[in-house]
Amino acid sequence: MDLEYFKLIDRILDLRIDEKTITVEARVPQHNTIFEGHFPGYPIMPGVLLIESMAQTSGWLLLALMKFQRMPFLAAVKEAKMRGFVSPGELLTIDANVLHEGSGYAMTEAKVRVDGKLKCNATITFSHIPFPHPDLREHMDAMAKRIGFPQQAIADD
């Protein structure tokens, strides 16, 4: 997890196109200035960043389903529930599945767990458009490589 660059996902563990599900992992940094303020003497991962981690996880799933032809953008977050504290150094396992694929938008459900225990969940809406700039597409391709996106998963169908 690289908080400074908003790269919250470390690795894709599982991607199932047919079932429209994804599982990723992300290690919360042990040290970061965020924890100096949030909170002194009691560092915990901010809820908004947990939501972002679920959004990015969902985003990779949608990118896969759309074969990297369109870019999803966060549009709405519903029913976001922070069910437990997440501490520096903890390993997040994040699951997402597609709730609905509409015309130009999609909805997902996502969950963050630590050691199997549910820490937060949300229903997330994305709008998606064709990649608006080649640099963004190039960036996402590089990111996909970095987190081990299984290209074969979208190659054959």
User: So which residues are the catalytic ones?
Assistant: 38
Nearer to other proteins, 1 or 106 (CB): 106
Rounded CA-CA distance 43/32 in Å is: 10
- Contact predicate 73/128, CB 8 Å: yes
CB of 129 to other proteins, least distance (A): 9
Integer-rounded Cα Rg, in Å, for the chain is 15
User: Residue 125 Cβ, how far from other proteins at the closest point, in Å?
Assistant: 6
- The reply to whether 67 sits near other proteins by the rule CB under 8 A is no
Residue 82 found at the interface with other proteins (CB under 8 A)? no
* Interface with other proteins, residue 11, by CB under 8 A: no
Which lies closer to other proteins via its Cβ, residue 71 or residue 107?
Answer: 107
Cβ(104)–Cβ(127) below 8 Å: yes
Among 66, 75, 140, 147, binds other proteins (CB under 8 A): 75
CA 63, CA 112: separation in Å to the nearest integer? Answer: 20
Closest CA to 49 of 108, 15, 92: 92
What residues between 91 and 120 interact with other proteins by CB under 8 A? 100-105, 107
Q: Which is nearer to other proteins, 33 or 103 (CB)?
A: 103
Residue type, 137: R
Whether the upstream peptide bond of residue 6 has omega within 30° of 0, thus cis, is no
Closer residue to other proteins (CB): 76 or 118: 76
Give the three-state DSSP class for 87.
coil
Interface residue list for other proteins (CB under 8 A): 75-76, 100-105, 107, 125, 127
